[in-house]
Amino acid sequence: MLTLKPAWEELDRTWVTLAAPDSDYLLRDERKVLARGPTNRSIRALLANLRLAWQVLRRERPDVILSTGAALAFPFFLVGKLFGARLVYVESMTRTDALSLTGGLVYPLSDAFFVQWPAAATRRKRARFVGGLL
Classified as helix, coil or strand, 17 is strand
Rg (CA), the chain: 14
Predicted pLDDT of residue 3:
84
- Beta strands at 32-34 and 127-129: parallel, antiparallel or unpaired: unpaired
pLDDT of residue 107: 95
Task: Give residue 134's pLDDT.
Answer: 62
The mean pLDDT values, 10 residues at a time, for the chain of 134 residues are 88 94 94 89 92 98 92 95 97 83 94 90 86 72
Rounded CA gap, 82 and 80, in Å? 5
Q: Which domains are seen in the chain, by residue range?
A: 2-129 (3.40.50.2000)
Q: Which of helix, strand or coil describes residue 64?
A: strand
